Amino acid sequence: MKVCIMASGGGTNAENIIQYAPKVGIEIVGLISDQPEAFALKRAANNDIEAVCLPFVRDHSRTYAEDKEIHETAIYEWMKERQVDWIFLAGYMRILTSSFIEKFEEPSAGHSRIVNIHPSLLPSFPGKDAYKQAWSSGVKMSGATVHFVDSGVDTGAPIVQDCFPRLEKDSLEDFVDRGLKIEYKLYKQAMDILSKGEFSLVDIPGSDKKYVSIKEKA
């Protein structure tokens, strides 16, 4: 299982993935960031992981969609050269296009080989700034979700989820810190599941959504 991590920021989740991967037989072949100053690049390099910045460049002589295609083509070619078969998103702040996701589809399994971590109990609070969304809404319980990536925004089938409480004395920073600890734990759990391959997608009754079911050992 050859994995490329994609990250746009500090890279704490990326480092968590890098350090846990050898324990479950996952090979991290590289980390891509779209941000030249992303500390995730340094974290990867410090762990002897190839790290590269492939920035999104906006050229107003072209459409945004054309620039997006050029950017994703560069990403895909880099991955193809390194025989990447899975992508782990760890704070990557660009939405991947359907055409890119299709390159990593597993049609027979019903999911892509792209995984994301989202800081909420999906389907609640999808999209950007999920911790702030949850905090502002006044919820007493929030969480995080590791899910397969599909063509929607945070709509792919959940692999693992867990929750944490909002305490009365919490600041937003306390709330986020507690959530990050859950994120690190969940990505490890998801890596355990994916590395073993002992799972399937199951329909949610009365919905067009699916969830991951872990196959029990005989």
Whole-number Å distance between alpha carbons of 76 and 55:
13
Active-site residue identified among 71, 111, 118, 147: 118
Q: What stretches of 21-129 show up as alpha helix (H) in DSSP?
A: 39-46, 64-81, 98-102
Pair 75, 53: CB distance under 8 Å: no
The question of whether 111 is a catalytic residue gets the answer no
In whole angstroms, give the CA distance from residue 40 to residue 64. Answer: 26
CB distance 104 to 116 below 8 Å: no
The alpha carbon of residue 146 and the mean position of all alpha carbons in its chain are separated, in whole angstroms, by 7
Q: Taking the CB of residue 127, how many other CB atoms lie within 10 A of it?
A: 11
Catalytic residues: 118
